[in-house]
Amino acid sequence: MRLSTPVRAIATGCLLFWAGLAHARTTFAEAEGGKIAYETCGAGDRTIVLLHDGILHAAAYDDVWPLLCQRFKVVRYDRRGYGATPAATAPFASVDDLAAVMKAAGVTRATLVGSSAGSGIAVDFALAHPEAVDGLVLAGPWVSGFSPSAGFIARSLKLVALIKLGDLEGAVKDPYILSPTADAERARVVALLKANPQNLSGAGRKLERAGPDAKDHLGEIRAPTLVLVGALDIGDVKTQAKAVADAVPGAQLETVPALGHFMYLEKPKAFADRVAAFVDGHPQGAASAGL
């Protein structure tokens, strides 16, 4: 059976896309006192950089990035001491690491998509390098300068205790991370952590140089900004998400129903669709043009 020209074109495009994705390989960007593992996929005139949270590494986006790579160039990387990136042995700055990855990947400007602590890095980078940021998508943001509540600290201490006991299954039962029925996703988080115990060790990350608190400078951000927060996430994150959205000029705040902190793990297509719609809705250079 012969395929029609349009069908052949679509089929060829799909094959080329998946072939390119299959050949995506880990590369290392030279950074201050070390190297950063990163991957790229996709093509196009718009770029998205994915920044992971403080527990998982870039593999947390495994189901999101192939969807985004169908239309955009996408970069993801492991921060110091996570995944394939060695722990730091000398002082470093996460903002500089992101700049190094973008340079190595041939990216001059991008939409930054950050989860939790990754959102904090995205915000810090937008303040330090506004000319390189087309937009910000902050999922369950944790930005420097905000103080955790007593309840958040108690919960964190409980999780740390469970992790030290080796009870990862117990730790990921935390009700704020994933929805109550997300058993497969919980098992996946446990598997990722067991395969990458360095993610939880904190090795070398104490050498990170802290910059100025972003909280006091959020009003200076000019990049279009979308803040996402799961309806099931912990109160501190919800409060911070609203505060960030209120402080960043023109920012949108969306509460995602029935999901927790790792919304992109549980509903990757919905997350990718939100990100793609945001990128489509804001032209490249919108921040510098004052749009």
Inside any domain, residue 132? yes
CA distance 212 to 143: 11
CB 276 within 8 Å of CB 42: no
Mean pLDDT of the chain: 91
CA distance 133 to 125: 8
Q: State the pTM of this model.
A: 0.90
User: Is the confidence at residue 285, as pLDDT, over 90?
Assistant: no
Inside any domain, residue 40? yes
pLDDT, tens digit (0-9, with 9 covering 90-100), for 60-89: 999 999 999 999 999 999 999 999 999 999
Residues of the chain with pLDDT > 90: what percent? Answer: 84
Residue 187's pLDDT is: 97
Inside any domain, residue 198? no
- Residues making up the chain, counted from first to last: 291
84 is written with which tokens?
């394939």
Q: Which residues pair with 213 in a beta bridge?
A: none
CB 44 within 8 Å of CB 71: yes
One-letter amino acid at 82 equals Y
Q: What is the DSSP letter of 149?
A: P
pLDDT, tens digit (0-9, with 9 covering 90-100), for 30-69: 999 999 999 999 998 999 999 999 999 999 999 999 999 9
Question: Dihedrals φ, ψ of 240, to 5°?
Answer: -65, -40
| Mean per-residue pLDDT, 199-208 | 88
41 is written with which tokens?
């996929």
Q: What is the pairing mode between strands 47-51 and 73-77? A: parallel
Question: Dihedrals φ, ψ of 115, to 5°?
Answer: -110, 125
pLDDT, tens digit (0-9, with 9 covering 90-100), for 143-173: 999 999 999 999 999 999 999 999 999 999 9
Inside any domain, residue 8? no
For residue 287, what pLDDT band results from cuts at 50, 70 and 90? low
Residue 204's pLDDT is: 78
Inside any domain, residue 67? yes
pLDDT, tens digit (0-9, with 9 covering 90-100), for 170-181: 999 999 999 999
pLDDT, tens digit (0-9, with 9 covering 90-100), for 220-264: 999 999 999 999 999 999 999 999 999 999 999 999 999 999 999
One-letter amino acid at 30 equals E
Q: What is the DSSP letter of 92?
A: B
The count of domains in the chain is 1
Please, where are the H alpha helices in 1-138? Answer: 5-22, 65-68, 94-104, 117-128
Inside any domain, residue 164? no
Q: Assign residue 34 the CATH number of its domain.
A: 3.40.50.1820
User: Is the confidence at residue 24, as pLDDT, over 90?
Assistant: no
Residue 283 lies in domain:
20-146+203-289
Q: What is the pairing mode between strands 34-41 and 27-31? A: antiparallel
Inside any domain, residue 191? no
